[in-house]
Chain A
Amino acid sequence: EVQLVESGGGLVQPGGSLRLSCAASGFTFSSYEMHWVRQAPGKGLEWVSYISTSGSSIYYADSVKGRFAISRDNAKNSLFLQMNSLRAEDTAVYYCAREDDYGALYFDYWGQGTLVTVSS
């Protein structure tokens, strides 16, 4: 069974940093491209970042570019999101999502999410 379990969320002050983790199991993690997607309270879904299987290709939404960094450790089946210079508008549930392996460019499995609250 595919499982994605996020952790690392919490309350942080504006300008602060936080590192999210996503533990993957039930599939060959190193063979799948991965993403972070977020959802502000009461709002819709927003794509945040992508990383290729080897980590050699990385993309970001304009709203987080230069502040967030995605990475992965295939040996530990883990995905990460380092978030710096956090702003109130970064407050959201952050989901780790697996991209399908058929090339349709969509998210076939999602984690349960971890809440990040940016507030003083």
Chain B
Amino acid sequence: NFMLTQPHSVSESPGKTVTISCTRSSGIIASNYVQWYQQRPGSSPTTVIYEDNQRPSGVPDRFSGSIASSSNSASLTISGLKTEDEADYYCQSYDSSNHWVFGGGTKLTVL
């Protein structure tokens, strides 16, 4: 099984752009899709990016996803930061041994 490693926390000012990384420990990042979930305090997770870079309907285009083979990682970028974006963000992928894997989560503070 592989692990997905995220920074514990990031912070940025309103209106700015922030990028959260998710590094796969073994295997190839492109071998399985990466998803990103947003979890606001006291709420259930919701999907903001699926299939590496696809946005569900209703998610603003300020949210974008990408993968980079060079660093074996995925990234979530949020532009034009708003205070409502303050939340925990989790990356997730699938392990071919029939396990689903989450990153440890990143707390985004918009200050």
Contact = CB atoms under 8 A, between A and B. Distances in A.
A6 to B, nearest CB: 10
A107 B33 contact: no
Contact of B105 (A45, A107, A110, A111): A45
Contact of A104 (B35, B46, B98, B101): B35
A111 B104 CA distance: 20
Given A45-B45, A45-B90, A108 B56 contact: yes
A108 B47 contact: yes
Contacts, number: 57
Contact of A106 (B33, B98, B99, B103): B33
Contacts of B39: 45
B51 to A, nearest CB: 5
Interface residues of B, number: 24
Interface in A24-80: 35, 44-47, 50, 59, 61
Interface of B: 32-33, 35, 37, 39, 44-47, 50-51, 56, 88, 90, 92, 94, 98-105
5 contacts: A44-B88, A46-B102, A105-B94, A106-B51, A106-B92
